[in-house]
Structure 1
Amino acid sequence: MKLMEQIWNLARSNKKKIVLAEGEEERTLKACEKIISNKIADIVLVGDENIIREKASKLGVNLNGAEIENPQTSAKLSTYANEFYELRKKKGITPEKADKIVRDPIYFATMMVKLGDVDGLVSGAVHTTGDLLRPGLQIVKTAPGVSVVSSTFLMEVPNCDYGDKGVLLFADCAVNPLPDENQLASIAISTAETAKKLCGIDPKVAMLSFSTKGSAKHDLVDKVVNATKIAQKARPDLKIDGELQLDASIVESVASLKAPGSDVAGKANVLVFPDLQAGNIGYKLVQRFAKAQAIGPISQGFAKPINDLSRGCSFDDIVNVVAVTAVQAQG
């Protein structure tokens, strides 16, 4: 069974309600129809109902079963504004500013998640990652014990024996430009949990570097070594090892030479990159050269599921990220 088919089935097994903050966007409307018809999730579209209905009609899209919330006229507006004011009044937010801010579709959708009116949020087809993460951090915040929000890509590589039958997770490829050792450790732990929840695999986490077990000396290597120790101490139940070069992480013959005795080397299915440049370049190389399916970026570390989209996404990408968000919301 392909990975996304597995995730769709998981989403259907305990259907959740997901809000799409860009409800007036055409790809979002097409995705909404497919999500509902395939019973992946219940959907709330945020936007002006007249605009949404008119665009759906022109596109030939059936929105039966979808809810629509207009932030400007919603009966929930005053409740959301009051709650946002209470959350942010120490930061200088006045009731008047709160009322104005929560009329923004992404802030409105994030308040829906915060107050439990929906189970998760997806946005980013026309907004930047920062547009989504900012209200997420202000309102939903990080999960207990998690110090940093990060991202991962689920990579499914055809005809590949590496990872878990060609399935690997790459992190962080979209959020943290230069994580310190504590943040890198947190990213490793979060990605291991994502591997278990979404893919049903036993995570074997490789902390990547240009050095394997002391083969090179540099401050950049020290950061990965220290991050590995922090993650191992925090979660001794997880298989985490480093520092490891990429080949030592996934190729057993190389691992036997460079890192003998490791329970991760040669068998890794979670690859934690030392910084965002390496991660972003790495996943795109595999996506293009190996013709891999790259699902994500999937956000990790929020107290409730909030996921970003690439602005170049297709409507099928939106469907898949909604399915992932729904599974995350299952707890």
Structure 2
Amino acid sequence: MEALGEAGSVDIFDTIRPSAPDFAAALDAAYGAEAATDSAAGNAAGPTTGAVLLGTGEINFDSRLAAAAGASHYLVAGSPADATALQLASGQLVRSDRTPAGISFIDATAAAGSASSTAVEAEGKAIRHVALEDIAKAGAKEPVIGPELFERNLMIKAREKNAHIVLPEGEDDRILTAADQLLRAKVCKLTILGNPDQIASRAKELGLDLSTATLTDPTEGSQLEGFATEFAELRKHKGITLEQARETMQDISYYATMMVHKGIADGMVSGAAHTTAHTIKPSFQIIKTAPGSSVVSSIFLMVMDGVLWAFGDCAVNPNPTPEQLAEIAAVSAQTASQFGIEPKVAMLSYSTGMSGAGADVEAVAAAVKKAQEDNPDLPLDGPLQFDAAVVESVGQKKLPGSDVAGQATVFVFPDLNCGNITYKAVQRTADALAVGPILQGLNKPVNDLSRGATVPDIVNTVAITAIQAK
């Protein structure tokens, strides 16, 4: 049982039992459809304030759900005879650092409106036992972030932007399926490029509703000539002729990027069926870097239960210079803050401070110095080893007095090799949700998908792009 607020009991998980519960569905039920629509930032203090929420009966599931919902978790049994089972359940939660708020035994008189409590010891810790009426008085807590809550909040924030995103790869079933989900959830407006008749036919075969999307053939239409003229002007210093520009604009990535450049769309997401170079090269030529930026880079948002980190650069720059690394650190902090991360930036190395020697350590040290000079108010430190960046006892021992060591939330890797390996290792071994790569440093948002992207990956990336839109 999860409790919050000061009102009566509500079983909002009744439709979930007794089948294996779906966490995302349960979380939506806990917050309620109205809260999901009205929450200004997707970070409501708690679900359906004032309710006592009856859980599924699966102890770990309910505990994790309570944390994500910002609710107090109580174990409730029908009689004191269940004390042993409750002890075991409580011990399991204590060992996983999810100590329940209390245990209640409801006797036969509960039906008449009264309840009784007894005391039980769990893992050597006395747990306060409460009567049923006390459960409803438990206050809401700060929700604990996790993959499902993060994705839910992401959709809410994107919906508020009311952005228009172009998807160039209309021939890919994953793109069409993701578009259906995005449109049903009213996350953003969409233009899908490809043959409109073929897209509509395939959507019907897949049972998808794309009726509110704009379907555009990039090889035809009145915009094509205007786009070609614009591109020829932008690239005339490279000797590009109007005829060459007309041919280039037939390419879906160039056409979609020009839509973003001209303000017809607010952002672009591509790469499910094309290489990263094919996706982002037009951005360098048309959208170009934002004022003050000299390099385009990326971050991944790494989401685990109770943990929200940003890793950069894991997708674009193989061997950034110290100056580029400093810039990547600053822009990664800015991007992270857009998604609810309080940036504390660790510049990573195989050495903490100058305990190790070598050109690689010196390069990171130079990047740290440059970044601190350019961003004096940004909590940033390094060189730091990963353990010194995330474990406070290690960090303060190796770099005493640092306001980042042991508390880092944004991690800047010295090169692409380190960054890409690490994000994949964390993703696969810690069961982390890895959202990205999120491109940063461009004038307008363009984001790249992996060719192995799943439909949820595409949905998340489109939402990210909508949030980035000005």
Of 24, 27, 32, 2:179 maps to 32
**Corresponding residue of 2:326:** 185
**Corresponding residue of 1:162:** none
Structure 1 segment 234-253 matched on structure 2, within 5 A = 234-253=374-393
In the alignment, structure 1 residue 270 sits paired with structure 2 residue 410: yes
Find runs of 4+ consecutive structure 1 residues off by over 4 angstroms.
none
**Corresponding residue of 2:397:** 257
SS in structure 2 at match of 1:140? coil
Counterpart residue type for residue 366 of structure 2: N
**Corresponding residue of 1:288:** 428
Of 329, 332, 337, 1:196 maps to 337
In 2, Cα distance between equivalents of 1:184 and 1:5: 32
The answer to whether the 8 Å contact 2:361/2:383 transfers is yes
In 2, Cα distance between equivalents of 1:281 and 1:59: 36
Of 228, 238, 257, 1:81 maps to 228
Counterpart residue type for residue 117 of structure 1: I
In the alignment, structure 1 residue 173 sits paired with structure 2 residue 314: yes
The answer to whether the 8 Å contact 2:350/2:384 transfers is yes
For structure 1, list consecutive stretches of 5 or more residues without a partner in the other structure: 159-164
Counterpart residue type for residue 356 of structure 2: A
How many pairs were matched up?
323
Cα-Cα RMSD: 0.9
In 2, Cα distance between equivalents of 1:327 and 1:213: 36
For structure 2, list consecutive stretches of 5 or more residues without a partner in the other structure: 1-144
Structure 1 segment 1-331 matched on structure 2, within 5 A = 2-158=149-305, 165-198=306-339, 200-329=340-469, 331=470
In 2, Cα distance between equivalents of 1:254 and 1:17: 46
Deviation at 1:75, TM superposition (A): 1.5
With structure 1 as the length reference, what TM-score do the two structures score? Answer: 0.96
Counterpart residue type for residue 317 of structure 2: N
SS in structure 2 at match of 1:143? coil
SS in structure 1 at match of 2:235? helix
Counterpart residue type for residue 188 of structure 2: A
In 2, Cα distance between equivalents of 1:267 and 1:216: 22
Identity of aligned residues (%): 50
Deviation at 1:217, TM superposition (A): 0.8
Deviation at 1:14, TM superposition (A): 2.1
The answer to whether the 8 Å contact 2:166/2:268 transfers is yes
Deviation at 1:8, TM superposition (A): 1.1
Deviation at 1:237, TM superposition (A): 1.8
In 2, Cα distance between equivalents of 1:318 and 1:226: 37
With structure 2 as the length reference, what TM-score do the two structures score? Answer: 0.68
- Residues 37-79 of structure 1 deviation map (CA, whole Å, 9 limit, x = unaligned): 0011100001111221121122111101100111111221111
SS in structure 2 at match of 1:86? helix
The answer to whether the 8 Å contact 2:302/2:309 transfers is yes
